[in-house]
Amino acid sequence: MTTVRQWLQQTSDLPLIECELLLGEVMVLSRAQILAYPDRAIPANALQQLQPTIEQLRAGQPFAYITGEREFWGLNFRVTADVLIPRPETELLVELVVELAPQGGNVVDLGTGSGAIAIAVKSERPDLAVTAVDKSGAALKIARHNACRLKADIAFHQQSWLQGSNAVWDIVVSNPPYIAERDPHLAALRAEPRLALVAGTDGLDAIRQIIPAASKQMHQNGYLLIEHGFDQAESVQQLMSVAGLANVHSRKDLAGINRVTLAQYAGR
Ligand SMILES: C[S@@+](CC[C@H](N)C(=O)[O-])C[C@H]1O[C@@H](n2cnc3c(N)ncnc32)[C@H](O)[C@@H]1O
């Protein structure tokens, strides 16, 4: 017989909360019920059911890809290995867009992945016309699915950043790939799509394409907001200033790291 307590000890090399949630799922109990009775015996068939999932976690498969979902901005998103798992720090971009977008304005989310930013923005600000683009057709399929199940009216396009479109925007928002090709952190991110993560030798290739393109397609006083790596704020600020944007500044995430840099198009 294996009790809840014993099983959680056996899996103590893995994140506790993930093990508790998995156990709850196979035993059809809430996490609170699991925690309340640590001496409850786990039925043999439940142990058997858990085994392959535990092996996947030990092999480095992210929990969100195993369960097929991740919460972002209080909404439940479907995620597969075709999309980046939305990160909590990206909620800062949503917060800023919700605050800065003019009533009835238009917004484009560049590199939408699961659709997290676009859908979260639309859920808070239904007055906005939201468009989302991605180069990956497989990612767009997931984003469309999420928009449909979360009832968000969003226009999706498969394209590279703003290429091939001459629309003009009040808000251009992006969480682009920003990791350098040889960054050692990539080893821990093997399961996520490379297209969503890597941007050239210094991690700034995508941002270097987005800033000049966006600054030619913004309404007067429109905003460009870009998420970036913990050490990239200065470079992104410089790229925005060179592109002629005004009010260039960065905002910190909850960990106190400059995570988003934004600027305004002041007109010609
Ligand atoms: C860091 S992920 C962000 C996903 C999502 N916006 C989020 O915050 O969770 C970057 C996204 O950019 C997309 N991407 C990469 N290169 C692109 C390009 N040239 N044009 C459009 N999208 C691109 C990737 O497919 C990926 O979905």
The string of pLDDT tens digits covering residues 90-139 is 999 999 999 999 999 999 999 999 999 999 999 999 999 999 999 999 99
User: Which parts of the chain register pLDDT below 50?
Assistant: none
List residues near ligand 1 (CB under 6 A): 84, 86, 90, 110-114, 116-117, 133-136, 139, 160-161, 175-177, 195-196, 206
Separation between Cα atoms, residue 80 and residue 258, nearest integer Å:
29
Compute the half-sphere exposure of residue 263: CA atoms within 13 Å on the CB side of its CA: 24
What pLDDT was estimated at residue 85?
A: 98
Contact 82, 140 (CB under 8 A): no
What pLDDT was estimated at residue 194?
A: 96
Locate the ligand 1 atom nearest the alpha carbon of residue 109 and give its number.
6
Domains contained in the chain, CATH given: 2-59 (no CATH), 70-264 (3.40.50.150)
> What pTM does this model have?
0.94
Contact 79, 112 (CB under 8 A): no
What pLDDT was estimated at residue 268?
A: 66
Cα distances from 113 to residues 3, 124, 265, in angstroms, run 40, 19, 26
Instruction: Provide the strand spans (E) within 53-141.
Output: 69-72, 75-78, 106-110, 129-134
